Chain A
Amino acid sequence: MASILGRRRFLRSIGALGALGTVAVIAACGGATPTAVPAKPAEKPAAPAAAPPSATTAPAANAPVSSGAATTAPVVAPAKPAEAPPAAKPAASTGPVNLLIHFSDAGRYGEFVTKYTNDVVSKKFPNYKIEVQGSPGHEEHFTKMISQFAAGRSGDMGYIYPAQGWLGMMSAKGMFTDLDAQAKSDNFDLKQYFDGAIKFSRVDGILRALPWHAHAEHWTWFLNLNVFQEAGVKPPPLDAPYEWGIEQETEMLTKLTKKSGDKIERYGISPKTDYIGLFMITRAFGGDFLSDDGKSVRLGEKSGRAAMQWIYDRMYKHKVTPTAAQMEGNDQQMFIAGKLAVIYGPGSIGPTMAKSIGDKFKLGVAAGPKGPGPEGRLAAGVGPNCMGLLTSSKNKDAAWDVLKMHTSQDAGVQKVLFGAGAPGGRPDSYDDPKLIEAFPGVKVVKYQLGIGWPENLPWNLRGREMTNAVQQTLDNVWLDKMKPDEGVDATIKAMEAVLKLTDVRQDK
């Protein structure tokens, strides 16, 4: 007897439904993007990095600072009196508007953005209903934002940074709006922000985000001044002129390292072996990881090898830096606990650490040193963390209003006072008297931002692959499994493999 509900017929029906479902899923893949992927750039190289300051324009600081020779620091223009910005367009809408901001909760960023939105932005735009959606960390936030965008569920604005290619990669996928056009239509003056921060926020020449905060990458030095005093060591310059030479470092750190029998109670300096820390010291030595156009590897140059040798010697020759086995928690924890005399990192950690340090010791801030020899130079990075307008926004003008407020001078000051990282990506935030009183070290970071230039990204915007390749391969050196030259050779090979990968921008 034939039955319409036989097992075979049932299974065939399920299979047919499943096939239909699979086709529907595949068809839906990638269908959420409302705009086309940006076209490949024309003949101009795609690198967003500006050229570093040339040796001829660098301050005359070739003589070691300790000799007392007069040096001319690059002049940081004093804060101009606040000029009224050109008249902006009135608020986008007077009717009710719903806006969604995607942010990272790391470093209390999302918490601050929520507070500033509720306390300040919503008062100026009472008809805007703004929701801030957070994620626990930066990378989780990026993954979530991309996934939501792909699913057509993303909102109006998103937190993003250009370092390691994140902004470039997401812009290549059509996620962030052209802000040049937005700024032009609004007569919005982009010169309010640090030059380098705006440059780094451009992808293939187009501005894709505004700097929400900026720091000089991982080359701001934080000092335990009590330890310097105890050891009778003169610290690097805490006031202008900030230049000093790395040649002084070894003796300084050796005196700061405190031993008790076989055990080292306090180390001189933190091991900064993450990607950004490594390319910053390479810059100080006169080199870089990648060429300006991002198409070739420069790590193998004399400067790169010397920089890696320098870090290795700190650990294994002079023993002023803890190895992985000798770390007690992370470097900030060790510094706050008094087990490190110096750490260097992004300027954003200063204000946050100052709160944890409290009265334990006096915190000093200095600029990272100039590298040794004639190739050495004053180096700094420009690391903006940004907010961009997502192309999925249905209320771009209203979102632009909100974006301008979140990247304003006031927001840039409030976030530091709140405890959410570095000041805004603009000189007038750094000049605010309230900020300087709360954290005097900001003047050093401002100086660094004035001389800094953006990271050279890989030409194919494969920043994450490059970061992992460099960090993991060079780990062999820091673990003393390879000598520095051998490690550099292996890392060059890994970096070249990343440069051979396809361009994330390619048309689909």
Chain B
Amino acid sequence: MKASVVRPVVRAQSSGRLNLARREALEGYICLAPWAIGFMLWIAIPMVSSLVLSFTEYDVVTNPKFVGLANYDQAFFKDDLFWSSLGRTFYYALLVVPIGVVGSLMAALLLNQNLKGTSVFRTLFFLPHLTPTVAAALLWVWVLQPEFGLVNYLLEFVGIKGPAWFGSKEWAIPSIAMIALWNGIGGNRMMIFLAGLQGVPTELVDAAEVDGANSWQRFRHVTLPMISPTIFFNLILGIIGALQVFTTALIATRGGPAYATWFYALHIYRSAFEYFTMGYASALAWIFFVIVLAFTYLQMRASGKWVYYAGEEK
């Protein structure tokens, strides 16, 4: 008798909790839905579709024809431009990433000095980042013009005969790297570093100063470790961004001269939208995805050795 009296009370209480839990879950999923739908439509479905298409011969207009691993075989063993364009892309990343990260950090350090006019300088540093890439490329074609461009004109004043820049096999990639650095050093990366620097506890810096550390020692042993997560973040994004170099090469050099700026992303673009070998372009894109993923994974594994997260135990 007691049990039958107790049970209905328990059942009423638990169904009230279920309704609340369900409602909260439903509200959560509704809030997630825009992201989830966008993710499905614009990222997940296209990615999986391109993976399937990478096993086909597909020219956009007619139906895809299954060819198995032929596209991957073409990429690895038959396409001369595959390896050379990968090499050029990594060379470019090697130029841009270290200089870009160090440059952005130095700019952030300057802005972190709390001197008069900092906000003006912050704006000036950030302005190049706001220039659209295509406009920047067209502008720099003229700035780097070998005969009458500004850079060679100034170099002549100090007795240096400037190179042909975009017109030179050796200097084409450094020219594009220069544009990327001009655009990127004072950009979001600098702002992220600035935020990181402003998060360094001042008491640690003061304690180091009291202990007799000079400015370099304070920077090396206090500031750098404290901003190592920020450096790591910028490094990962910087590498991924650099490996995707495309727009400037398309606008300024069209992949030349003599394939000097025929980067991997440009190779994908030409295969897809000029030659209409969409299946092959999909295979190239997936190979690149795996390479970048592997690279990122290695960096994450290595980060344990040099990235310090406040509060973690080692």
Residues on the A chain within 8 Å of B26, using CB: 5
By the criterion CB–CB under 8 Å, are A29 and B63 in contact? yes
By the criterion CB–CB under 8 Å, are A25 and B274 in contact? no
- Of A73-81, A145-153, A251-259, A363-371, the one with at least 4 CB within 8 A of chain B: A145-153
Q: Does A328 contact B (CB under 8 A)?
A: yes
Q: Does A3 contact B (CB under 8 A)?
A: yes
> Chain B 96-139 against A: per-residue CB contact (8 Å), 1 yes, 0 no?
00000000000000000000000000000000000000000000
How far apart are the CA atoms of A29 and B65 in the complex, in Å?
Answer: 11
Return the chain A residue nearest B142 by Cβ.
A329
By the criterion CB–CB under 8 Å, are B276 and A169 in contact? yes
By the criterion CB–CB under 8 Å, are A329 and B145 in contact? yes
Q: Does A373 contact B (CB under 8 A)?
A: no
Return the chain A residue nearest B41 by Cβ.
A21
Of A3, A37, A149, A325, which is within 8 A of B25 by CB?
A3
Return the chain B residue nearest A472 by Cβ.
B259
> Chain A 455-484 against B: per-residue CB contact (8 Å), 1 yes, 0 no?
000000010110010011101101101000
By the criterion CB–CB under 8 Å, are A3 and B22 in contact? yes
Residues on the A chain within 8 Å of B257, using CB: 324, 472, 475, 478-479
Q: Does A65 contact B (CB under 8 A)?
A: no
Residues on the B chain within 8 Å of A10, using CB: 29
Of B18, B40, B59, B255, which is within 8 A of A21 by CB?
B40
How far apart are the CA atoms of A175 and B164 in the complex, in Å?
Answer: 43
Return the chain B residue nearest A37 by Cβ.
B62
Total residues of chain A contacting the partner, CB 8 A? 51
Residues on the B chain within 8 Å of A174, using CB: 61-62
Known pairs A475-B258, A508-B65; A30 contacts B58 (CB<8 A):
yes
Return the chain A residue nearest B164 by Cβ.
A325
By the criterion CB–CB under 8 Å, are A325 and B167 in contact? yes
Q: Does A261 contact B (CB under 8 A)?
A: no
Residues on the A chain within 8 Å of B275, using CB: 462, 464-465
How far apart are the CA atoms of A154 and B205 in the complex, in Å?
Answer: 65
Residues on the B chain within 8 Å of A32, using CB: 61
Residues on the B chain within 8 Å of A1, using CB: 18
Of B40, B49, B169, which is within 8 A of A17 by CB?
B40
Q: Does A504 contact B (CB under 8 A)?
A: yes
Chain A positions within 8 Å of B, measured between CB atoms, are 1, 3, 5, 10, 14, 17-19, 21-22, 25-26, 29-33, 37, 139, 143, 146-147, 149-150, 169, 173-175, 323-329, 462, 464-465, 468, 471-473, 475-476, 478-479, 481, 497, 502, 504, 508
Q: Could you write out 6 A-B pairs with CB less than 8 Å apart?
A: A33-B62, A146-B61, A150-B60, A479-B257, A481-B169, A508-B65
